[in-house]
A = this chain, B = another copy of it.
């Protein structure tokens, strides 16, 4: 099981980016999305998407993120531009594929102890870009691109891919 934890979410400023993180987690093969804090908006948005688009992805909130992180049984991976390049660590990470995995994603500055607590600090490029993109590329590599074949069961909405225009089926 893959859990994505979003740290440092600020209700107004990060509303859209935190929602993007959650939807990327769902699309690219994570099972659960946890937002730190008391803002229900991104959690509800992501759960509404799952309700309509299928699958059994779960979004929820956590208040005491530090004890959640410390007590997590499994491998904790912090995505940070300061970490080791993904290509250098991906083979090692994949040996943990069958364990529970926590992916820690920061918005605002991440406290120093997170770098210590997590088993891995991994950089998807050492340039400033986007935690949303970092998560997508990380999950793509970690799951071996499996998202491309992923089925979302009990979907009420399904897109029929087209060369031109838009086609969607409702159930």
On A, residues with C-beta under 8 Å from B are 13-14, 16-17, 20, 23-24, 26-28, 49, 53, 80-87, 112, 115-116, 120-121, 123, 125-130, 132-133, 135-137, 140, 147-148, 152, 158-159, 161-168
Contacts and interface: CB of A to CB of B under 8 A. Distances in A.
A166 B84 CA distance: 11
Given A126-B159, A127-B26, A127-B53, A165 B132 contact: no
A129 B164 CA distance: 20
B28 A162 contact: no
A92 to B, nearest CB: 12
Contact of A49 (B128, B148, B159): B128
A148 B87 contact: yes
A162 B24 contact: no
A7 to B, nearest CB: 16
9 A-B pairs closest in CB distance: A133-B136, A20-B130, A126-B159, A82-B166, A27-B129, A23-B129, A132-B132, A27-B127, A24-B133
B133 A84 contact: no
A125 B148 contact: yes
Contacts of A49: 128
A135 B137 CA distance: 11
A115 B17 contact: no
Nearest to A126: B159
B162 A121 contact: yes
Given A85-B161, A129-B136, 13 more contacts: A16-B17, A20-B132, A23-B127, A26-B127, A49-B128, A53-B128, A81-B159, A120-B163, A123-B159, A123-B161, A125-B147, A126-B161, A136-B137
Nearest to A135: B133
